[in-house]
Amino acid sequence: MQLDKERIKSDFERKLISLFAEDIKDASRLHKYVALGEIIKEYTFENWLKSNKKYIKGDVKQIYYFSMEFLIGRLLENNLINLGIRDLVAEALDDLGLSLEELEMEERDAGLGNGGLGRLAACFLDSMASLGISGHGNGIRYKYGLFEQKIVNGYQVEVPDNWLKDGYVWEVRRADRAVIVNFGGNVRFDIVDGRLKAIHENYESVLAVPYDVPVVGYGNNVVNTLRLWSAEPVGSEFDFSSFSMGDYARAMEYKYSVESITSVLYPDDRTEKGRMLRLKQEYFFVSAGVQSIVRTYKKKGKPIKHFAKYCAIHINDTHPALAIPELMRILIDEENLTWEEAWDITVNTMAYTNHTIMAEALEKWSVDMFKSLLPRIWTIVEEINRRFCQELVEKYKDDWKRIDEMLIIKDGFVKMANLAIVGSHSVNGVAKLHTKILKEQELKLFNEYYTGKFNNKTNGITHRRWLLDSNPKLARLLNETIGDGWIKNPNQLIEFKKFAKDKSIQQKFEAVKQSNKIELSRFIKNRYGINVDPDSIFDIQAKRLHGYKRQLLNALHILDLYNRLKENRNLDIYPRTFIFSAKAFPGYVLAKEIIKFINTLANKINNDEDIDDKIKVVFLENYGVSLAEKIIPCANVSEQISTASKEASGTGNMKFMMNGAITIGTLDGANVEIKEAVGDENIVIFGMTADEVIELYKNGSYKSLELYYSDERIKRVIDQLMNGYLDVPGSEFMNIYNHLITNNDEFFVLKDFYAYADAQMKIDNLFRDKSKWNEMAIINVASSGIFSSDNTIKRYAEDIWGIDV
């Protein structure tokens, strides 16, 4: 498509009229954004159509990435850059007296995810499209995204995220491609044409309507699809008979119960709430997705037996694991294949990514609920389990202890991880350390049984969003220094390393960082009235709030630092701004108390004139993709301080590194690989190792109370939590106290306290040598290319999906 400024201007003005009957003078900023978004979306349509047509005709294997979450953020800037028309559009708008940046702010974040897992799915979509892979997303169009966080009097308050209120520019509703998903009822077996057939009856049907979002590749004319499903009443089943009898309430009840399936995102990424609605959500989007994939495949006119050759389904954690029995159902009940044929296709189609080793986060469903909600799927899972059990007995004879642990159905529960492992040809962890722990500990028995099924695929982030889009000044410096080849091939970032010691590049790098920090300082001043010094060290911890991520360690260290400053006004520390941003699960009492603690601390410290502004504490509310894009480019220090063994990979760590922050971190998740990449001298590592943590859990010898009594600095901060020192009643932080002392400090916050304090001192010292610090930062940027999700996706493609890139 040939685009020039004049065409963009006239398209834009015409769109304003056709949508709203307004001209530029009358239209609100929102309307201008909508009109702009609509024309940009239309610019993707020609290539979108081409990509779709190519599939029906061609022989290219299609990859379907199933994920309960896609944490997309905004799309306008991203799409403009990937289409290669960002500057052209900015100039066109400028001619019309409009600012692209201002219009971009009108877009609401699509926050259809909780954190890392959902953001990973979004990064993968960008990389698949940009690498020219036919890879598509399959998920849920939640009416409400992750809650919006407001901080009121230091407390987190949750506000519903009604993100669709003004419509969503980037989607296309495709009612003609809707499918039906059935729940409940009963199953009986009958002989039909000499074959045993399952007959599912008396179910309730729900209409699954797809909303497609184009996923634009970078500079390659590829447009893939993110398909998000919305639940609606089935036309004929909207109970008009009861409606006409005057039972309006009953009719509305059905409508409401159906729509509730896709109304809210569960605001929790680590533990299962065990709610029927959640299971309904999972089956809903998986069934709709698999049905539509099979339907599209059949349009190609190829035999169903070759399905796995042309389609791969990847399941992001166990939430979509019902794709396994659902594909079995379709192949057996609808395509009339035998069990063995269907199983062979299913296992070859499916691959599973494990995201956690935390036992409490492993999904399981009660058999009673499963059976009543999904009776046909239940009979299939039962049969998968029966056959698997038979195999195990053949191999392990009467080693029941081993067999019990591997079964899919056990003690009245369906274990989703076991189902996912048995039904997939590949199981991957998300960082080397995580995969090692999976293979040697959590899933050891499975790894012994299925040699070769387990593999590692370290997570990644798209360098286009997390560097090119979000840090344009650093991107420009890179282009000037090493050329722009890194945008297509992120491995070229390593060229930047040659300039690490170059004084003029160091200065330019520092100027970029400084200018980003000044911008953030202004934002903080405007929004919170807090003066922060852009010359101070910007030390940032931004991620979900969780015990294992140890924001509490960071906060207690700040309190200790404050104590030492109060004791000694001449204490020589480099001025530092500690920035936090984190949402807590609404029912997670400890996490919410930690937010209140951080804000209380901030209030006390920021208003204390004794300490000469040497430290400042800022909590930025409502962490999400857009805020992350704003703050990560400003970091000098990246806090990645989880209890070793707990953070499967982390991806925030990679984003900060890519923007030239120095990591202070534990040897956990991908931090281990960041250390390998940058070298020991360009990262600050502290604390217990994963082996030590696991050993200490096993032998139970840790006693936090002993630490409390034996160490003055630790005792002082704990006492200050409880004795009113922070100008709030001690009861305010009761749960933190109980967590650390009464319940023995599950995440070793106190145990790692001094190691962390020493590491922070090391940071303080390093920062004083500006040239050395800039050199370290440049090495971090230069070494971050291997963490581009382009690399991750290439490895998935070659090792798991069996396609060439």
Q: Find out whether 421 and 453 touch, Cβ atoms under 8 Å.
A: yes
Instruction: Choose among 280, 351, 383, 392: nearest CA to 135.
Output: 351
Q: Is the CB of residue 268 less than 8 Å from the CB of residue 585? A: yes
> Nearer Cβ to ligand PLP, position 115 or 210?
115
Hey, which bits of 88-237 come out as E strands? 110-112, 135-140, 145-152, 155-161, 172-173, 179-183, 186-192, 195-201, 204-216, 223-233
Residues of this chain that bind ligand PLP (CB under 6 A): 71, 115-116, 119, 543-544, 623-625, 628, 650-652, 655
Going by the DSSP 8-state scheme, the letter that residue 633 receives in this structure is: G
Nearer to ligand PLP, 465 or 576 (CB): 465
CB of 284 to ligand PLP, least distance (A): 25
Q: How far apart are CA 621 and CA 605, in angstroms?
A: 18
Minimum CB distance to ligand PLP, residue 123 (Å) = 8
Tell whether the torsion through CA atoms of 395, 398, 400 and 404 is positive or negative: positive
Q: Which of 41, 549, 576, 646 is catalytic?
A: 549
Which residues are registered as beta bridge partners of 111? 71
For the packed helices 29-57 and 5-20, what is the interaxial angle rounded to 10 degrees?
Answer: 110
CB 396 to ligand PLP: min, Å: 38
Residue of 15, 108, 319, 355 marked active site? 355
* Nearest to ligand PLP of 374, 654 (CB atom): 654
> CB 553 → ligand PLP: shortest distance, Å?
15
Closer Cβ to ligand PLP, 71 or 330, answer by number = 71
Q: Which is nearer to ligand PLP, 75 or 625 (CB)?
A: 625
The rounded radius of gyration (Å) of the Cα atoms in the chain is: 27
Q: Which amino acid is at 376?
A: R
Considering only CA atoms, which of 524, 395, 494, 500 is closest in space to residue 450?
395
Closest to ligand PLP by CB, 111 vs 135, is 111
User: Greatest CA separation found in the chain?
Assistant: 91
Nearer to ligand PLP by C-beta: 423 or 429?
429
- Exposure string (b/e) for 318-348, b if CB count within 10 Å is 16 or more? bbbbbbbbbbbbbbbbebebeeeebbebbbb
Query: Between residues 11 and 126, which has the closer beta carbon with respect to ligand PLP?
Result: 126
Catalytic residue list contains 355? yes
DSSP 608: -
Q: How far is the CB of 586 from ligand PLP (least distance, A)?
A: 16
- Respond yes or no: is residue 544 known to be catalytic: yes
Which listed residue (32, 453, 655, 751) is catalytic?
655
Contact residues for 581 (Cβ-Cβ < 8 A; gap 6+): 540, 541, 542, 619, 620, 621, 623, 627, 628, 631
Residue closer to ligand PLP (CB basis): 311 or 461: 461
Residue type, 277: L
- Contact indicator for 552, 596 with CB cutoff of 8 Å: no
543 given a catalytic annotation:
yes
Closest CA to 651 of 495, 463, 471: 463
Instruction: Give the Cα separation of 524 and 544 in Å (integer).
Output: 20
Closest approach of ligand PLP to the CB of residue 600, in Å: 24
Contact assessment for residue 770 and residue 98, using Cβ atoms and an 8 Å cutoff: no
Closest CB to ligand PLP among residues 120, 718? 120
Which of 141, 434, 544, 550 is the catalytic position? Answer: 544
Closer to ligand PLP at the Cβ: 465 or 513?
A: 465
| Contacts (Cβ under 8 Å, ≥6 apart) of 511 | none
Torsion of CA 510, 513, 516, 522, to 10 degrees: -70
Per the residue annotation, which of 651, 663, 666, 792 is the catalytic one?
Answer: 651
Q: Report the C-alpha gap between 55 and 669 in whole angstroms.
A: 37
Least CB distance to ligand PLP at residue 7 (A): 35
Query: If residue 316 lies in a helix (H) or strand (E), which one and from where to where?
Result: strand 311-316
CB of 355 to ligand PLP, least distance (A): 11
Beta bridge partners of 428: 353, 455
Cβ-contact 438, 355 below 8 angstroms: no
Helices H / strands E in the chain, number of each: 34, 25
> CB-wise, 51 or 671, nearer to ligand PLP?
671
Strand order in the sheet with 409-410: 364-366, 413-415, 409-410
Q: How far is the CB of 781 from ligand PLP (least distance, A)?
A: 17
CB of 125 to ligand PLP, least distance (A): 14
Least Cβ distance, residue 266 to ligand PLP (angstroms):
16
For the chain, the helix, strand and coil percentages under 3-state DSSP, each to the nearest 5:
55, 15, 30
Active site residue 497: no
- Which residue's C-beta sits nearest to ligand PLP? 652
Task: Give bridge partners of residue 212 from the DSSP assignment.
Answer: 172, 227
DSSP per position, 29-98: HHHHHHHHHHHHHHHHHHHHHHHHHHHHHS-PPEEEEE-S-EEEE--HHHHHHHHT-HHHHHHHHHHTT-
Catalytic residue among 314, 543, 616, 751: 543
**Which position has the token pair 């722990």?**
437
CB of 676 to ligand PLP, least distance (A): 18
Task: Look up tokens 């702009």; give the residue.
Answer: 36
To the nearest whole angstrom, how small is the minimum distance from the Cβ of residue 479 to ligand PLP? 24
Instruction: Give 78's contacts (C-beta < 8 A, 6+ positions apart).
Output: 126, 216, 464, 465, 469
Nearer to ligand PLP, 280 or 544 (CB): 544
- Say if CB 44 and CB 214 are below 8 A apart: yes
Which residues belong to the active site?
A: 355, 543-544, 549, 651, 655
